[in-house]
Amino acid sequence: MTNSLSAACKLPALKERGNQLYAWLNERLGLDFFVEIARHKTVPEHRYSFWYYWGGLSLFFFSVQIITGIFLLMYYHPGDGAYDSVRVITNEVAFGWLVRSFHSWSANLMVFCLMVHMFSVFFMKAYRAPREFGWWTGLGLAGMTMLFGFSGYLLPMDDLAFFATKVGIEIQKALPGAVPAWIPGSAFAQNMTNTLIDNLVQGGPSVSGMTVGRFFSLHVVILPLIFLPLLTVHILLVLRHGNAAPPSVEALPEKERRSIPFFPNFFVKDLAMWLIAFNVLLFLSAVSPWPLGPQADPWAAAPDGIHPEWYFMSQFQLLKALGEVLPGAIGEAAGATMLGVGGLLWALIPVYDTRNGGQTRAKVATAFGWFAIAVLTFLTVWGYVGVMGAGK
């Protein structure tokens, strides 16, 4: 094969040189190790294979975040000048509007792909042994992505950013208020929470340029510093254990199960998906450039119909709805408890629905997944209906 190829190319000398270069590098860098991994890694092929692309798509949008984030850093000023610098990026710097739109749209698409990825992993039961840590590292990455979103949302310091962040922080502040006053230490807990949030998170008694500085360092240094190693572990685990096939495919006899090599076959398909993703991003950014609202005014009223990003909408609506039934801090605490318990159950699913756990547990887990989707969708739609009503 190699001989006929080089003969056909009439470039045997070049081929030889290439081999020599590879041997030289291999001796020093141990390239064979990676080539072996690439050669042996396969991806199962079945009717659900489509769902294998979504982790890679999330990774693609994350890469876009890094690159556009680096570009935005060149003109963005945290602190009191934040709004002005974003205004300059959006309205004055050549193609600044495009870079910023890319960053914002890609953030949303990343969250979307990540959710699809998480739910497809869930329904394929890919969290089962030996892939539990893939599930847990993935949940960690998802949680940090939400923090990326929350901290990044404040940075332009327009009125929506200002009030969304204010509300997000107030929710945390209000939680200890649910502890009944007769319990010793409840007042202390409330004071302590307020003090810690003011001193450590907000950098003052309310959201200000100081908060922007803190969220900025969180957004561009602290979170990436933790996110990148965790992402590396997540990907190494996929390399180590390979893609999980859903139980229905695993149950098939060996000869009926098909797979394709990861490199180059699946990789090329991955690239094609990324190209499509890039074009979607380009389309969205060009057709609907990310807006910049009026500058945040701490003395003005919050704008009508203010609401969080869509990926916080379900949590927002849950708190809002519970607040109508259970006014005050109790409602918020109840909501936070429900969210916390739900998240914990979600994280513990690999321990409950194990390979040998039986059909009942498998079915309960799947039902739990559909329940989660139904609740999230219902709350999100309900939230948007409420917001649109308020906006009129």
Partner 1 sequence: MSEQEERHDSAVVPEPPHDLPPEEPGACCSRRRFIGMAGLGVAGLGYAAGMAYPVYRYLADPAERAAAEAAVKEVTLAKADAPAVGQGKNIKFGIRPALLIHHAEGKWSCFIATCTHLGCTVAYKPAEKSIKCPCHGGIYDATTGANVSGPPPKPLTQLTVEENNDQLIIRRV
Instruction: Identify the residue among 8, 181, 183, 287 touching partner 1 (CB under 8 A).
Output: 8
Closest approach, Cβ 4 to partner 1, in A, equals 5
Is 5 a binding residue for partner 1 by CB under 8 A? The answer is: yes
Handedness of CA 71, 74, 80, 83 (dihedral sign): negative
The 8-class DSSP code of residue 218 comes to: I
CB closer to partner 1, 67 vs 321: 67
Closest approach, Cβ 101 to partner 1, in A, equals 11
Closest approach, Cβ 67 to partner 1, in A, equals 9
CB closer to partner 1, 98 vs 306: 98
The 8-class DSSP code of residue 127 comes to: T
- Spell out, one character per residue from 87 to 116, where the chain touches partner 1: x when CB under 8 A holds, - when not: -----xxxxx-xx-----------------
d(CA 27, CA 185): 65
Contacting residues for 368 by C-beta, under 8 A, at least 6 apart = 345, 349
Q: Over the range 65-78, which residues count as b (16 or more CB within 10 Å of their CB) and which as e?
A: beebbebbeeebeb
Preceding peptide of 224 cis, ω within 30°: no
Return the percent helix, strand and coil in the chain, to nearest 5. Answer: 75, 5, 20
CB closer to partner 1, 109 vs 207: 109
- Spell out, one character per residue from 67 to 86, where the chain touches partner 1: x when CB under 8 A holds, - when not: ----x--x------------
Nearest to residue 160, comparing CAs of 103, 86, 74, 247? 86
Using CB under 8 A, which of the segments 8-16, 27-35, 168-176, 194-202 binds partner 1?
Answer: 8-16
Is 4 a binding residue for partner 1 by CB under 8 A? The answer is: yes
Residues within window 182-221 making contact with partner 1, judged by CB under 8 A = none
Closest approach, Cβ 19 to partner 1, in A, equals 17
Residues within window 232-271 making contact with partner 1, judged by CB under 8 A = none
d(CA 172, CA 333): 10
Q: By the criterion CB under 8 A, which residues form the site for partner 1?
A: 4-5, 7-10, 71, 74, 92-96, 98-99
